[in-house]
Amino acid sequence: MRRQPARVDLALLLLRVILAAVFAANAHLKWAAMGRMAGLFMSVHIPFPDVTVRLVATLEVAGAALLLAGVWTRLVGAWFVIEMAVAIVKVVWPQGFIGGYEFELTLLTVALALAIAGGGAYSLGRDRLSQ
């Protein structure tokens, strides 16, 4: 396997750190307003909203920790792509791009880049789900 330049590894590290920070912060908000989030999930017809919001918040916290460590980066990236796709379609699509889904689309794109590229050299993971 050809080694990528150090600047690419640094870029992947920066993407992992910022994506982890955003998802960890949003997971905290979900835990702090669990009832309100379950109501939102119910209003957009996401099944089992009380359970689903807890599952999503837990996966966001765990995913953020895994991204910071660079472990299972591809898997976490794929999970965040799916989560953001659902958020766009179910919640913010009707609002349009500006003031609507531009933030979620940005997160989806960063997560997709990590799902494709992996965590880079500055990560603990050395398996196929990480690199």
pLDDT given at position 126: 76
pLDDT given at position 129: 65
pLDDT given at position 59: 97
In the chain, where the domains are located: 9-117
Residue 116's alpha-carbon distances to 13, 48, 107, in angstroms, are: 14, 31, 14
pLDDT given at position 2: 57
pLDDT mean values, one per 10 residues, the chain (131 residues): 79 97 97 96 96 97 97 96 97 94 98 95 80 66
Evaluate if pTM is beyond 0.85. yes
Place of tokens 């807890």: 54
pLDDT given at position 4: 72
* 110 close to 19: Cβ distance less than 8 angstroms: yes
- Longest Cα–Cα distance of the chain, Å, equals 49
